[in-house]
Amino acid sequence: MTTTFPPHSLDRLEPDLVRLRRDLHRHPELAFAERRTASIVRDRLEALGLVVRSGVGGTGVVADLDGTEPGPRVLVRADMDAIPVTERTGLEYSSTTPGVMHACGHDAHVAALIGAATMLTDMPGLPGSIRFCFQPGEELLTGARRMIADGVMEGVDAVLGAHLLSPFSLAATSSSSGLSARPATAGRRSRPSIRSSLPRRSCAHFNRLSPAKRDPASLWW
Ligand SMILES: [Zn+2]
């Protein structure tokens, strides 16, 4: 089955997603304190006509998009928390919260998933269904467990997650199947979804992967 993405292209969405990501970057929130972020996510999803569940696993937000054709239910996940780092980038959209920064890219993850939700809700003939999952507390390694305990995986056939990674060049992506604690080594290049809003930066938790990170209960890293 072939599907397309009318009517608004990614190019039309991009300025809004860049603004959203920069707003989130200005207002980072630590694990399980992502209340402003979750509120913005909820408003965005409701504006798309989706029924939203808040407070999942703490401050998590979930919404289902049911397609018009039979198919699997796919959960797509973005993490929302920032980390206790003082920003000294000098960017005009730098963190306004002392000692807290989106230094791991989760601000971009949220914006990208909002972009995906916007495009998918407009896609005719969507097969199966999509569960948009905005996860709290990824940096503490417990956010996924809490969401699972609250039932986020019920009825889910597959999970997709992604993470920005500064060792990759700006236009590079890498993918792997199964439960993954790190990206596949064989990358493939494609156009990034919000390329102009993604400065290269370090990913703090990539440097402190632990066995707990690879636990199946951790949806993705
Ligand atoms: Zn991260």
| Phi (first) and psi of residue 72, to 5 degrees | -75, 160
Q: Closest by alpha carbon to 194, among 217, 218, 170?
A: 170
pLDDT top residue among 3 and 129: 129
Q: What is the pTM of this model?
A: 0.80
pLDDT bin (cut points 50, 70, 90) of residue 6 is low
Summarize the confidence of residues 144-161 as an average pLDDT.
Answer: 96
- pLDDT > 90: what percent of the chain? 66
Q: What angle do CA 158, 105, 211 make, to 5 degrees?
A: 60
Q: Ligand 1 mean position to 102 CA, how many Å?
A: 9
pLDDT top residue among 44 and 5: 44
- pLDDT > 70: what percent of the chain? 76
Q: Ligand 1 mean position to 204 CA, how many Å?
A: 7
pLDDT higher than 60, residue 197? no
Range 66-92 burial, b when 16+ CB lie within 10 A, else e: ebeeeeebbbbbbbbbbbebebeeeee
Is the separation of the CB atoms in 96 and 178 below 8 Å?
Answer: no
pLDDT bin (cut points 50, 70, 90) of residue 137 is very high
Measured between alpha carbons, how far is residue 123 from residues 8, 162, 171, 213 in Å?
10, 22, 25, 34
Q: Ligand 1 mean position to 162 CA, how many Å?
A: 9
Which residue type, as a one-letter code, is found at position 168? Answer: F
Q: Ligand 1 mean position to 213 CA, how many Å?
A: 12
The confidence score (pLDDT) of residue 220 equals 33
pLDDT in tens, 62-88: 999 999 999 999 999 999 999 999 999
Q: Closest by alpha carbon to 41, among 7, 3, 80?
A: 80
Q: Ligand 1 mean position to 221 CA, how many Å?
A: 7
| Phi (first) and psi of residue 136, to 5 degrees | -90, 165
The listed range with the strongest mean pLDDT (5-14, 189-198, 207-216) is 5-14
Residues whose beta carbons lie less than 5 angstroms from ion ligand 1: 104
Q: Ligand 1 mean position to 125 CA, how many Å?
A: 33
Q: Please report the sign of the dihedral spanned by the C-alpha atoms of residue 22, residue 10, residue 121, residue 199.
A: negative
Range 41-50 burial, b when 16+ CB lie within 10 A, else e: bbebbeebeb
Q: Ligand 1 mean position to 4 CA, how many Å?
A: 30
Q: Closest by alpha carbon to 216, among 158, 155, 144?
A: 144
Strands 60-66, 127-135: pairing is antiparallel
pLDDT in tens, 18-41: 999 999 999 999 999 999 999 999
Q: Ligand 1 mean position to 14 CA, how many Å?
A: 22
Q: Ligand 1 mean position to 70 CA, how many Å?
A: 33
Q: Ligand 1 mean position to 29 CA, how many Å?
A: 13
Cα–Cα distance for residue pair 75/155, rounded to 1 Å: 10
Q: Closest by alpha carbon to 83, among 96, 102, 97?
A: 102
Domains along the chain?
10-214 (3.40.630.10)
